[in-house]
Amino acid sequence: MIQVQARTDSSTLMQFASPIIAIALTLIFGSILFIILDKDPIQALHVLLIMPLSDAYNVGEMLVKMGPLLLCAVGLSLCYRANLWNIGAEGQLLAGALGGSAVGLLFVDSDSSLALPITLLAGIVSGMFWAALPTFLKIKFNSNLILTTIMFNYIALYLLVWAVHGPLRDPDGFGFPESAMFSDATLLPTLIESGRAHWGVVIAILAGIAAWVILSKTHLGFQIRVFGSDAPAAKYAGFSANKITWFVMLFAGALAGLAGVAEVIGPIGQLVPVVSPGYGYAAIIVAYLGRLHPIGAIAASIFLAVLYMGGDLAQIEMSIPTAVVGMFQGILLFFLLACDFFIRYRIILNKDANV
Amino acid sequence: MDIDLITQILFATIKTGTPLLLIALGEVICEKSGVLNLGQEGMMLMGAVVGFMSAFATGNLGLAVFAAMAMGALMSLIFGFLVLHLGANQVATGLALTIFGTGLSAFIGSGVIGETLQGFQPIIIPVLSDIPVIGKILFTHDLLVYISFVVAAALAFIANKTRLGLTLRAVGENPHAANAIGIKVLSIRYFAIMFGGAMAGLAGAYMSLSYTPMWVENMTSGRGWIALALVVFASWRIGNIMLGAYLFGLASIMHLVLQGMGWSISPNLLAMLPYVATVVVMVIISADQFKEKLLAPRSLGKPFDPRQMA
């Protein structure tokens, strides 16, 4: 008979195998779904997963999506390691886009070499500010971080929509809700001549490595890990909960803000009402799939970026609604959480029922 | 402001507060059993899309509401299995449910965007609706609003006056003690989670069949999250939830009030009000740490595994 038994130590093997099994199960589940929808599952999976990597243009577009996903996920990984449920990456990203645009638009007629760094800095600071608000409320008033960060996501969205319809709208734009185009001096340089892939993704990978160094090689990183796994022990050791909270939240806000400003001065080139297709939320899945490890997040962000790109292609090639991506993301996270059961438990088969 | 305008504002307050009331009533029962389900928004969206599509296909509003509630309950079962049987983290699983529901609802609803149908119509209750002012505010709504009144009253009674209510509280406060006296903790929690799912589905159906009879992606715009704040605001008490839902309803129609007073502010800025109000409320209620700890179900968010006795 089948029995479930708690493991004495959590399984390292399952820790790494779980994401792979979860991805496999998601693909099987997806195939069944496509059969039900009367779409060829082989072709659908080919379009979703292989085509995004099939030529230089598609790979470039995939990298465009990977940058913001990874930047947000690296920050979230640190927050979740510290057991702080920051769901606010989306709002911090939008704040970065808004703040960055407000400053970047000052350079519309300029070719100053300071335009780009100042605009980037404005985006980073805006993201940090947007993360600082719920952090302050948590530390000062003990308010629930999950709910406040979600609320700030909505507030950031409406602020951005208001700005793009109002003060930041292009005066020569025939009333369309769009800002003026940024000057060439403000735009992020592209990685290769053709395509839209820009330096954002390189910065994101460097940020991932930096976060890994902080987390595993520094005393601060040690404090974060202890605080996350056993808050009373951290308190006993004299670690400052407030300091750790401020650090991980501002770090996450800075990276998300950078992701936001890099979107508007990178692939988009102006401020528009829809800056992100939910990168900040998808980054939660990236963080989990990457095992809350900054290096794991790099691999996971490639998978989620491929899925985003595949969703766009699936709409063009097979007229499957792009919303299929969000559904796959949810299913993936479900399977991942289910597979994680086997990190803590094992199934044993007893031939002898008397044992 | 004249009395007609005030009547209109309060009437609209009830209408806007109803989806929050419905979903928060489901969530409070779930939380009383010790389970925190952050998947409200996803279940509500699924309820909205399934309700609308069923009504669109069959023309039968009753059937559509039933389908929406069944869908909400089905979604909550996935959550229940993961957190109750596999001991998955409740916060992460709830988030997964919201992400899944948001994606799935947009996916299956993509065919009915732009379609319209005849939603629930107001039922003027005779005699009661003739009471000056209050009659117009309370008794000229549609069926789902009346249902929300009845459910709120019934739940207040069940939670405070019956053995079932006591059992629910025991499971949420101390599952180990409840288990020791023979209460099936996981069964009660499954029941509470499914009730929460069905109510979220009903709230979604209200959105797509009554409030604005159509389907738009993400049409619940964060109401599932606001409801979670509402439960904390209400200190897990059902009477307070009713009050809170209408206060939040009022915050979302402030533009009507301000227009009535002759102000003109960008609708995009006014759209922030319910979210800002939620943050302000969260800050006020949680500043008193002692009170919140005292009032929250003690095992809220903590897994209970009957295989491992504490």
The phi and psi torsions of A348 (rounded to 5 degrees) equal -120, 145
Say if residue A208's pLDDT is above 80.
yes
What pLDDT, on a 0 to 100 scale, did the predictor assign at position A355? 43
Helix (H, G, I), strand (E, B) or coil at A346: strand
> Is B207's pLDDT higher than 90?
yes
Q: Inter-chain contact A151–B104, Cβ cutoff 8 Å?
A: no
- Judging contacts by C-beta atoms under 8 Å, the chain B residues touching residue A330 are 42, 96-97, 99-104
Q: How many CB pairs under 8 A join A and B?
A: 140
Chain A nearest-CA distance from B130, in A, is 40
User: Above 90 in pLDDT, residue A13?
Assistant: no
pLDDT of residue A109: 87
pLDDT band (50, 70, 90) for residue B127: confident
User: Is any Cβ of chain A less than 8 angstroms from the Cβ of B229?
Assistant: yes
Contact call for A165 and B268, based on CB within 8 A: yes
Q: At what angle do helices B185-206 and B223-233 cross, to 10 degrees?
A: 130
pLDDT attached to residue B307: 66
pLDDT of residue B310: 42
CA–centroid distance for B122 within its chain? 21
The 10s digit of each residue's pLDDT in A158-187 is 999 999 998 999 888 887 888 989 998 899
Q: Do A151 and B283 touch (CB under 8 A)?
A: no
Confidence of residue A1 (pLDDT cuts 50, 70, 90): low
Please compute the mean of the pLDDT values over residues A136-160 and round it to a whole number.
93
Residues A201-225 have a mean pLDDT of 94
Mean per-residue pLDDT for B108-119?
A: 88
User: How large is the average pLDDT for residues A94-104?
Assistant: 97
Q: What is the mean pLDDT of chain A?
A: 90
Please give the Cα distance from A260 to A264 (Å, whole number).
Answer: 7
A194 near B CB under 8 A: no
pLDDT over 60 (residue B214): yes
As a CATH number, domain B3-295 is: 1.10.3470
* CA neighbor of A257 nearest in space, from A275, A242, A243: A275
| Contact at CB, A142 and B292, closer than 8 angstroms | yes
A154 contacts B275? CB cut-off 8 A: yes
What pLDDT does residue A65 have? 94
Flag whether pLDDT at A97 surpasses 90.
yes
Inform me whether the C-beta atom of residue B271 falls under 8 Å from chain A C-beta atoms. Answer: yes
- Residue pair B93/B82 in contact by the 8 Å Cβ criterion: yes
Which of A3, A5, A142 should be substituted to probe chain B, the one whose Cβ sees the most B Cβ atoms within 10 Å? A142
pLDDT at B140: 84
Is A26 in contact with A304 (CB distance < 8 Å)?
Answer: no
Q: Is B43 on the interface with A (CB under 8 A)?
A: no
CA–CA gap between residue A73 and residue A325 (Å, rounded): 18
The answer to whether the CB atoms of B93 and A337 lie below 8 A apart is yes
CB contact B42 to A (< 8 Å): yes
Looking at per-residue confidence, does B309 or A251 come out higher? A251
Lowest mean pLDDT among A165-179, A249-263, B23-37: A165-179
Q: Does B144 have pLDDT greater than 60?
A: yes
Convert the pLDDT of each residue in A38-84 to its tens digit: 888 999 889 988 999 988 888 999 999 999 999 999 999 999 999 99
Q: How far apart are CA A60 and CA A195, in angstroms?
A: 6
Of the two residues B125 and B51, the one the predictor is more confident about is B51
pLDDT value of position B289: 67
Are the beta carbons of B183 and B33 closer than 8 angstroms?
no
- The tens digit of pLDDT for each residue in B259-272 reads 667 777 777 888 88
Question: Stretch B17-42: mean pLDDT, rounded?
Answer: 95
A238, pLDDT greater than 90: no
Q: Give the start-to-end residue ranges of the domains of chain A.
A: 1-31+320-355, 40-318
Residue A327 — very low, low, confident or very high, per pLDDT cuts 50/70/90? confident
- A155 touching B (Cβ < 8 Å): yes
How high is the pLDDT of residue B288? 72
Q: With a threshold of 0.90, tell me whether the complex ipTM lies above it.
A: no
Which residues in chain A are closer than 8 Å to B308, comparing Cβ atoms? Answer: 6
Rounded to an integer, the average pLDDT of B119-124 is 88
Instruction: Supply the Cα-derived Rg of chain B in whole angstroms.
Output: 20
* pLDDT greater at residue B37 or residue A230: B37
Q: What would the pLDDT profile of A258-304 be if each residue is shown by its tens digit?
A: 999 999 999 999 999 999 999 999 999 999 999 999 999 999 999 99
Beta carbons of B107 and A158 less than 8 Å apart: no
Percent of chain A with pLDDT over 70: 98
- Put simply, the answer to whether A146 touches B38 (Cβ < 8 Å) is yes
pLDDT of residue A37: 80
Of 1.20.1740, 1.10.30, 1.20.120, 1.10.3470, the CATH number of A40-318 is: 1.10.3470
The verdict on a CB contact (< 8 Å) between A154 and B308 is no
B92 touches chain A (CB under 8 A): yes
Structure token digits, residue B6:
């005030």
pLDDT at position A155? 95
Instruction: Judge whether B28 and B172 are in contact, CB under 8 Å.
Output: no
| Identity of residue B68 | A
Strand partners, A4: A347
pLDDT tens digits, A131-143: 999 999 999 988 8
As given in the structure block, the two tokens for residue A99 are 């703040």
Query: How far is A311 from A319, CA to CA, in rounded Å?
Result: 10
The reply to whether B280 touches chain A by the CB within 8 Å rule is no
